Structure 1
């Protein structure tokens, strides 16, 4: 026999509900495990990436410091071999004690004597060979021989210190024309300080000494205020605005130096600079000791290191900027994404298994629960569930002063149907009757199989007269069934809740009305008219 539409909807809802619950649980498991997997994988990825960044940054910084030391040794060697000579020192003493004409003559002689050496040193990135008289007076700039006689003590801490201590000093310092890693030596002739000499290297001299295993690019950022304070106004064309920050300038000579074979193209450097975010740039203004930033341009990863640059006074004046291509980051990223994809696929399979397992468990539990609550044959609530619902409705009706009615009915001559047509047909009759009655009730009505061929209906918020009409309608519905060759009729008994009623008394009165119908010809409705 086909299942009724109402029962079909109930079965479908229950099936969907079990699927929905299993889906929610499986999805929750998947999301939780995916979250844990992603967190562990991402933490490992972040750690590996940070280790690689730290290694590259420290390697670059160590290489930079080692190159500075090498230049320091180189400057001492130049001083010892080319300047630390009696004739040079004697000329400086002569200039120190002589008048303007003597100074001019000595300057010319000193220039011609050391100019060939200076030209050779320029090939090694010597930026300045500068002689000074005591007190910080510029005597001879080989890079600007026409400029001399100015007092540079106010902008050159290194000169002041050497004049004071008569000991060499080295470090980065901005000057009137150029910046550089300066090495200042005292010139002492016959126990008298007669001047100082400076051998200065540009930053690119350090870069050329460093090992270049990856594609790299270097830049020097100097504070704009520092350049404005120290550099001659007509020499500030040596600097250009920085594409990174308005607070810094770049050294044109360093930016335009002849790059090594593995240099990153300048157009790519512009793309990298454009990708630097504002929060990172704020770190520069806060004078970070060492900042680094990893960015991706066209699927190529670049590490940008900003190393704080301090002058001889140990005051921060800018940054050494190192750009380098870092293929290791791409490898780490690809490995992370591959592992993440594999983990997600495995977790998805696990979640599917969880879904099917939980769905089956829910179905089995619901089946057991249904078996404990419903009649196996008709699918209706059983007697124990109905009693519980009856007690609850009696309490609610008494509290809210609502009417409550009860209908008992059974199938007439059911034993004869079993004896004549067999129990299988009898079972079909019971199920068909249950479906017809169920379709004739509302969602608030409670319909249960009481036992055998007997059924019970609870009608909340329904008075006796209306309950009697419902019973009559249901009786007629069964009487006109055309599902079987024989006619199916039923006898009904109707009772309503009285103030003194209990569940037992209400049901007993309904049962009595049912028997009254059966004793008076069956296929009828009796509604306790005597009490009513």
Structure 2
């Protein structure tokens, strides 16, 4: 699409987004009618026409008849394209299995928090959650049950977080939660609560008929002041090191990054 055509399309899309296709058609019809009347008035004045009534009638009828079907099809197409674009945007940032945001969504949200910190938002924490011995669950119960376990854990973990927190499936059996306005101590308390809940309540696969599967979690976390982190990759690397330390420590535990530094 050429630059001029692209600019025109974006301008029309903004109008359709703001008003909707039906109202946009009505607006364009009104504007077309006013312009038609103005041009007709000027033309008849220059030609010295003494009885302009018929000319004005034609100036009204033509845009009223022609504008709605032409702009209606165009704006309906723009609206459908816009909806499809939003749907693709959501799909690209949603994990198909759990319905949670995916890694890309977490990265974008984290970068947004770092670039545009709200007033009072000085700390942020990243919590990594790894399902212990998940391969054993798959090998013992099958991948279908393994998927059910992940979906169940996604709901359980998300239910233990605040509405302002962002939980995503980071990959495989690993989840990550971005906690704004949260220091390391508070994040550790959240992580310990999630760990305890998971260990105390086995996952029952296939609703009430399936076996109760014990599940434990290894959790690593890192927190930092927004100004001390260049990008979200740095915070991810810190939380990743912490969760590996939790697994090395025997699993079913919470390890803050500061604990690794103190033990080093």
Normalising by structure 2, what TM-score? 0.66
- Alpha-carbon distance in structure 2 between the residues aligned to 1:429 and 1:531: 33
Following superposition, the deviation at residue 464 of structure 1 comes to: 1.1
- Alpha-carbon distance in structure 2 between the residues aligned to 1:434 and 1:362: 30
- Alpha-carbon distance in structure 2 between the residues aligned to 1:448 and 1:373: 10
Aligned match for 1:51, one of 1, 24, 49: 49
Cα pair distance change 1:445/1:355, threshold 3 Å: same
Paired residue for 1:496? 223
Following superposition, the deviation at residue 462 of structure 1 comes to: 1.0
- Match status 1:517 vs 2:246: yes
Paired residues for 1:52-201 under 5 Å = 52-53=50-51
Aligned match for 1:27, one of 23, 29, 33: 23
C-alpha contact (below 8 Å) 2:121/2:180 kept by paired residues:
no
Following superposition, the deviation at residue 362 of structure 1 comes to: 1.2
- Match status 1:458 vs 2:178: yes
- Alpha-carbon distance in structure 1 between the residues aligned to 2:250 and 2:61: 77
Following superposition, the deviation at residue 444 of structure 1 comes to: 3.6
Paired residue for 1:427? 147
Could you say which structure has the larger radius of gyration?
1
C-alpha contact (below 8 Å) 2:25/2:72 kept by paired residues:
no
- Alpha-carbon distance in structure 2 between the residues aligned to 1:346 and 1:432: 56
Where structure 1 has 5 or more consecutive residues not aligned to the other structure, the ranges are 1-17, 54-327
- Match status 1:409 vs 2:121: no
Cα pair distance change 1:401/1:443, threshold 3 Å: closer
Q: Secondary structure at the match of 1:497?
A: strand
Following superposition, the deviation at residue 30 of structure 1 comes to: 4.0
Following superposition, the deviation at residue 36 of structure 1 comes to: 1.7
Following superposition, the deviation at residue 467 of structure 1 comes to: 0.3
Cα pair distance change 1:506/1:336, threshold 3 Å: closer
- Alpha-carbon distance in structure 2 between the residues aligned to 1:358 and 1:27: 14
C-alpha contact (below 8 Å) 1:378/1:431 kept by paired residues:
yes
Following superposition, the deviation at residue 361 of structure 1 comes to: 0.7
Cα pair distance change 1:37/1:452, threshold 3 Å: same
Where structure 2 has 5 or more consecutive residues not aligned to the other structure, the ranges are 1-13
How big is each residue's C-alpha offset from its partner over 1:65-104, in whole Å with a ceiling of 9 and x where there is no partner? xxxxxxxxxxxxxxxxxxxxxxxxxxxxxxxxxxxxxxxx
- Alpha-carbon distance in structure 2 between the residues aligned to 1:471 and 1:385: 21
- Alpha-carbon distance in structure 1 between the residues aligned to 2:49 and 2:141: 86
Q: Could you say which structure has the greater relative contact order, defined with CA pairs below 8 angstroms and 6 or more residues apart?
A: 2
Following superposition, the deviation at residue 408 of structure 1 comes to: 0.6
Cα pair distance change 1:347/1:436, threshold 3 Å: farther
C-alpha contact (below 8 Å) 1:403/1:462 kept by paired residues:
yes
C-alpha contact (below 8 Å) 1:382/1:448 kept by paired residues:
yes
C-alpha contact (below 8 Å) 2:21/2:76 kept by paired residues:
no
Q: Could you list the structure 1 runs, at least 4 aligned residues long, displaced by more than 6 angstroms after superposition.
A: 498-502
C-alpha contact (below 8 Å) 1:45/1:336 kept by paired residues:
no
Q: How many residues align?
A: 236
How big is each residue's C-alpha offset from its partner over 1:4-29, in whole Å with a ceiling of 9 and x where there is no partner? xxxxxxxxxxxxxx9x7174466335
Larger helix proportion, structure 1 or 2?
2
- Alpha-carbon distance in structure 2 between the residues aligned to 1:363 and 1:481: 40
Following superposition, the deviation at residue 478 of structure 1 comes to: 4.2
Normalising by structure 1, what TM-score? 0.36
How big is each residue's C-alpha offset from its partner over 1:266-319, in whole Å with a ceiling of 9 and x where there is no partner? xxxxxxxxxxxxxxxxxxxxxxxxxxxxxxxxxxxxxxxxxxxxxxxxxxxxxx
Cα pair distance change 1:426/1:358, threshold 3 Å: farther
Cα pair distance change 1:438/1:42, threshold 3 Å: same
Cα pair distance change 1:418/1:23, threshold 3 Å: farther
Pairwise CA RMSD? 4.2
